Amino acid sequence: MGAVELPGDLITIFMMEWLGRRHTTVFSLIFSGVAAISIIFLRMNDTVLLLCFAVAGRFFITMAINVGQQYIIEILPTAGRAQGSAAIHTVGLGMAFVSPYIVYLSKFKQWYPYLIFGLIS
């Protein structure tokens, strides 16, 4: 999963220049949600296909995070940048705190975490 970070970062730069910030955000969020939700409909025996969708979802989430961090710098005014940045980081840390519990839901149904992460993104 860590191998998609650098390509995701580099492609985000080019996509933001080519499509703009708004369209890059929308497409990366939609594709990450579709990748996460589509895992629900796959058989658990198709490990290669599951891995491909999981890596694709992680790739697009990386792109969405990068564009979100760029929005802080470019859109928020200087006076509100610190408060906006703090609010965004607080939500991110909250999700980092909750995510192990969401992943633990796979003990009940294998597809619960993918559904929740897909709907959130």
Q: What is the pLDDT of residue 121?
A: 64
Q: What is the pLDDT of residue 116?
A: 79
Mean pLDDT across the chain, nearest whole number? 82
Of 55-59, 63-67, 92-96, the least confident: 92-96
Q: Give the Cα separation of 36 and 74 in Å (integer).
A: 29
**3-class secondary structure, 44:** coil
pLDDT(80) > 80: no
Task: Give the pLDDT mean for 38-43.
Answer: 83
Annotated domain spans of the chain: 4-120
Higher pLDDT, 109 or 120: 109
pLDDT(16) > 80: yes
Q: pLDDT tens, 17-40?
A: 898 888 888 888 889 888 888 888
Task: Give the pLDDT mean for 87-101.
Answer: 81
Nearest to 113 by CA among 56, 39, 45: 39
Q: Around Cβ 91, how many Cβ atoms within 10 Å?
A: 10
Is there a contact between 37 and 115 (Cβ–Cβ < 8 Å)? Answer: yes
pLDDT(2) > 80: no
